[in-house]
Amino acid sequence: MFKRGMVLCALVSALAVSSAFGAEEGFFIGAGAGQSTMKAESDANLAGVPEIDLDENDTAYKMYAGYNFSRYFGIEGGYIELGSQNQSETFPVVITGNPDKIEAEVSANGWQGFGVLYLPLGDSFDLFAKLGGIAANIDVETKLRFPGPIPPAGTEHDKSSEGNGMWAYGAGAAWNFGHWSIRGEYEAYDTDKLDDLYAVTGSLQYTFFREKETPAPVAAPAPAPAPKPAAAPPPAKCPDGDRDGVCDAVDQCPTTPAGKKVDPAGGCDCDYTLSLEFAFNSAELSVNDKVEIDQIIPVLKNPKVGFIAGEVNGYTDSTGDEKYNLDLSKRRAQSVVTYVQAQGVNLGGRFAINGYGEAHPVASNDTAEGRAQNRRVVLRRTDCGPAHPQ
């Protein structure tokens, strides 16, 4: 039985075309007609009298109403008339007292109700399946005709009715256009009186729902004449406390002294140089040295200026062996880097560590004051691009 229903669904799906509508929530009514099929066997229980195999079709029609709670679920119920089918068989009398004709007639109708599950396919086409029951009235009548005049001449009737509730189920497809839908479906019934009972119908349905309001199209205004090119407005001013050309909102070094060359991304001094003096023959940082370095730690920790790069260069005075002084200058530079990293700064290879020994003195090595100035480490930036105009 189910194969016929699937064929019907395929035929209806071929009619589905693009539409702006789909099944909507709300109350609906519908009516339809189609073909019912009944299958049964009738046995006269007499020797020499064959069975009658009933497999006939008749017109079916129905009326129904229901409510869709959503695009995916609804309920419906109504009345269906499944028609009447009959089959007869005439045969020669081979045993006296046996009938020469047997006839079977079946009719069915009832009130039915279903829960319906929808599978929307686009805006206009739905597949659906339903399960429920029917309060059916099924009449089965068997007539036996006996030839006379030997009794029992005449016709005997054997009639029975089934009026109990029974399971019902179905499947189908619907094409929706506005408030209207065209449905094709298969419905079958689980009856004990018949071997098979089902109907294939087509229906026209109307759903009561409120139309969705769509805004009226607005006519596009006529294009205005192209305006004459205007002079570019001056750049907007912003607060700049240190007057370095970088707005305070993005300035990562907001206390840069006025007139300094700064980088355009963070507003930090491009020419910044930190010079630390060391004791004779020592690579250890003094307390004052650490205080000086601590002032730049917040800048080096700031990820927004993580592009800052530079050099850490160590030097000595001219006292002692030149090779020894070169090694001492490298240790002095390294002591600065080690202290900076101990404060949680990840230099990430952005600063080169160099030792120059006695080279590049900044004062005379002939005096104690000059030699003290030459025992130093210098930290300076090397990454700066163009500066903001002051």
- The tens digit of pLDDT for each residue in 169-179 reads 999 999 998 88
Whether 45 and 183 share a structural domain: yes
How do 351-355 and 73-90 pair as beta strands? unpaired
pLDDT at position 200? 96
Is 227 within the bounds of a domain?
A: no
Whether 112 and 17 map to the same domain: the answer is yes
> What local confidence, expressed as pLDDT, does residue 247 receive?
78
At 10, the pLDDT band (50, 70, 90 cuts) reads very low
| Structure confidence by residue, pLDDT tens digits, 224-235 | 676 666 555 455
In a domain, 184, yes or no: yes
DSSP 71: S
40 vs 57: which has the higher pLDDT: 57
Query: What is the domain extent for residue 85?
Result: 2-208
Average pLDDT value over all residues in the chain:
79
- The span from the CA of 261 to the CA of 123, in Å, is 66
Which has the closest alpha carbon to 284: 336, 248, 216?
A: 336
Q: Would residue 83 count as lying in a domain?
A: yes
Band (pLDDT 50/70/90 cuts) for residue 144 is low
Q: What is the mean pLDDT of residues 260-288?
A: 80
* C-alpha–C-alpha distance, residues 126 and 186, integer Å: 15
Task: Please state the rounded mean pLDDT for residues 65-71.
Answer: 93
Regarding whether 309 and 201 lie in a shared domain, the answer is no
Q: How far is the C-alpha of 191 from the C-alpha of 157, rounded, in Å?
A: 22
Please count the other Cβ atoms lying within 10 Å of the Cβ belonging to residue 67: 15
CB-count exposure of residue 328 (10 Å: 0-12, 13-18, 19+): buried
Residue 249: count other Cβ atoms within 10 Å of its Cβ: 8
In three state form, how does the secondary structure of 205-260 look? EEEECCCCCCCCCCCCCCCCCCCCCCCCCCCCCCCCCCCCCCCCCCCCCCCCCCCC
pLDDT of 372 higher than 70: yes
Alpha-carbon Rg for the chain in angstroms: 51
Query: Across the chain, where does the E strand assignment appear?
Result: 26-42, 52-68, 73-90, 101-121, 125-146, 154-162, 165-177, 180-189, 196-208, 273-277, 310-314, 351-355, 376-381
Is 389 a member of any domain? no
Does residue 245 lie in a domain region? no
Q: Span 305-317, mean pLDDT?
A: 87
Instruction: Say if 264 falls within a structural domain.
Output: no
pLDDT of residue 301: 84
pLDDT of residue 206: 94
pLDDT reported for residue 2: 44
Same domain, 203 and 307: no
SS3 assignment, position 314: strand
Whole-angstrom Cα distance, residue 134 to residue 168? 6
Least confident of 83-92, 144-153, 181-190, 298-307: 144-153
Q: Mean pLDDT over residues 299-321, rounded? A: 86
Establish if 325 belongs to a structural domain: yes
Select from 161, 190, 208 the last residue of a domain. 208
Mean pLDDT, residues 105-127? 90
What confidence score (pLDDT) does residue 143 get?
72
Q: Report the number of distinct structural domains present in the chain.
A: 2
| Cα distances (angstroms) measured from residue 27 to each of 3, 30, 126, 175, 307 | 31, 11, 17, 17, 69
Q: Is residue 221 part of a domain?
A: no
Q: Are residues 292 and 166 part of one domain?
A: no
Average pLDDT over residues 309-317: 91
User: Residue 43 pLDDT > 60, yes or no?
Assistant: no
Confidence of residue 32 (pLDDT cuts 50, 70, 90): very high
